[in-house]
Amino acid sequence: MFKRSLAIMLTIIFGLMMIGCGSSDKDGGAPSDTVKEEVKENIVVGFSQLGAESDWRSAHTESIINTFTEENGYELIFEDGQQKQANQIMAIRTFIQQEVDYIILAPVTEKGWDTVLQEAKDADIPVIIVDRMVDVADESLFTCWVGADFELEGQKVTEWLRQYTLKNNIAAKDVHIVNIQGTLGGSSQIGRTKRLRDAVEAYGWDLLEEKPGDFTRTKGKEVMEEFLKQYDNINVVYCENDNEAYGAIEAIEATGKKVGLDIGNGEIMVVSFDGVKRDAMSYALKGKIACIAECNPLHGPRVQAIIETLETGEQPVKFHYMDEEIFSAYESIDVLKIDEKEYSVVHLTQEIIEQRYQ
Ligand code: GYE
């Protein structure tokens, strides 16, 4: 980080020297103009990523890194918060000291950002929030947000499950669910958990227990092992991301139980979120994951468009929602109706997977 800021400073000093030289050299206008442009064009962006817990997160980081390249006219300073808000706050303070042009923040949790975002605002540095939300008293503390409708994702999965139980004559009281939650306090966890609880309440399903799996495969497996020891009637596992689902499946299969859709006959159904990797889709194609609400991590281009708008002096729209699908290999559910809107279920086939991951 220090090296980078030193490099930026040196570029600027060198640029200023060249501009100085150029102005005294009447015939040599061209080289100094080039340097001037170079200094002006490089927009410095500080990106505080919350961690590296999942496939989704890797794809998200990649999308930002691949967008804010030198070829595109950016200098990106990347900081991994390793799941700790304190690290992210420190990163933002360093970005402010470095006088970056923009800050991108993917916050680990919603709360606790007011002070540091006020500091960025006082320094006149626009902050673009990506992925999870910040819960701040004053919304002018951030310029824009790009992310997903996590509640809608939760509604898609629970509506799919409701239709499944109806189509297969499974009584609500016979739906025994455990929830492996994401990182507690992050919007994706909050939204997905909320919609499960709403559905449990509305339909009368049996929610046995909820526990955080931190969006990781290891913790997902660990939590599922505990659940399996405690309850012998689990037939639905609501995993708040695919990595947890992989871990849960491993734990279930290790006990000799079968993962699948036939929950009336002893199978355990796994549902999840993300659908970023081919692996997840292959699990879904085999029915090991019954349905996946997609969460789209490709925020880079959206954030770039926002910065480009800000560069022209215009004010971009504040909230940007990503478009997302729902995937399942089960063919008897076509459409989910949620709050008067219809969402088609993408029925997975090998061809569709090949198309998406060519
Ligand atoms: O679903 C999960 C990740 O906040 C949308 O965080 C994100 C979630 C994503 O690690 O895989």
Q: How far is the CA of 68 from the centre of ligand 1 (A)?
A: 21
Answer yes or no: are the C-beta atoms of 45 and 104 closer than 8 Å: yes
Q: Which atom of ligand 1 is nearest to the CA of 215?
A: 10
Q: Which atom of ligand 1 is nearest to the CA of 188?
A: 4
What whole-number distance in Å separates Cα of residue 17 and Cα of residue 56? 44
Name the residue among 185, 116, 194 with its Cα closest to residue 155: 194
Q: Which atom of ligand 1 is nearest to the CA of 55?
A: 11
Residue 207, helix vs strand vs coil: strand
Q: Ligand 1: list residues with CB < 6 Å.
A: 53-54, 56-57, 131-132, 148, 186, 188, 215, 241, 273-274, 295
Q: How far is the CA of 57 from the centre of ligand 1 (A)?
A: 6
Average pLDDT across the chain, whole number = 92
pLDDT tens digits, 67-101:
999 999 999 999 999 999 999 999 999 999 999 99
Name the residue among 106, 133, 137 with its Cα closest to residue 121: 137
Per-residue confidence (pLDDT) for residue 9, from 0 to 100 = 52
On the question of pLDDT at 18 being above 90, the answer is: no
pLDDT tens digits, 272-283:
999 999 999 999
Confidence (pTM):
0.89
Which residue in this structure is represented by tokens 């006959």?
265
In the 8-state DSSP scheme, what is residue 323?
P
